[in-house]
Amino acid sequence: MDADSFLKQNAPRPRSAMADYWEDIKKLRAAGCTLEQVRSFLAANGVTVSVAAISKYIKRREAEGDTIAKAETPATAETPVERQKEAAPEPASSTTEKPAKPGKFEKKQSKTFGHSAKSDGINDLLK
């Protein structure tokens, strides 16, 4: 069997359209771009793919050993939690709840939804 016959029987897997942009994808992801932003970049370059396809492609390339370097976070950067704590106003304590007495439990009333006050449905069937 020669190579031409072999190729006819075992056609190689087509190359992904994203392969030409792998270095750009790595650069965008390392800079912190989302998969949606990567999709927009590829679309601007004539490559129409879904976010899921990009994610799958990146995972496959990383599994092959071609990893994406993560961007370094400056040491002075605040964490998102710290920013949220600063931005969130303190809740006003307008309701005062009685503290529960030790050993005593308050029974909470269950909420009923979709029942009429006139008919209980099941009880009507059982009568």
pLDDT at 47 over 90: yes
d(CA 102, CA 81): 35
pLDDT at 71 over 80: no
Q: Give mean pLDDT, residues 44-58.
A: 95
pLDDT at 75: 45
Residue 121 domain-assigned? Answer: no
Between 120 and 22, the higher pLDDT residue: 22
Residue 5 domain-assigned? Answer: no
**Count of domains in the chain?**
1
Angle at the Cα of 32 from the Cα atoms of 40 and 66, rounded to 5 degrees:
90
The pair of structure tokens assigned to 124 is 């009507």
d(CA 30, CA 19): 17
pLDDT cut 90: percent of the chain above it = 33
Residue 102 domain-assigned? Answer: no
Say if CB 37 and CB 54 are below 8 A apart: no
pLDDT at 28: 96
Give the global pTM: 0.47
Residue 97 domain-assigned? Answer: no
Q: Give mean pLDDT, residues 76-98.
A: 56
d(CA 112, CA 62): 52
Say if CB 67 and CB 28 are below 8 A apart: no
Please report the sign of the dihedral spanned by the C-alpha atoms of residue 110, residue 115, residue 117, residue 119: negative
Closest CA to 53 of 9, 14, 17: 17
For residue 51, give its domain range.
17-63
pLDDT at 102: 66
Q: What is the mean pLDDT of the chain?
A: 75
pLDDT at 98: 63
Residue 98 domain-assigned? Answer: no
Q: Which pLDDT band, with edges at 50, 70 and 90, does 73 fall under?
A: very low
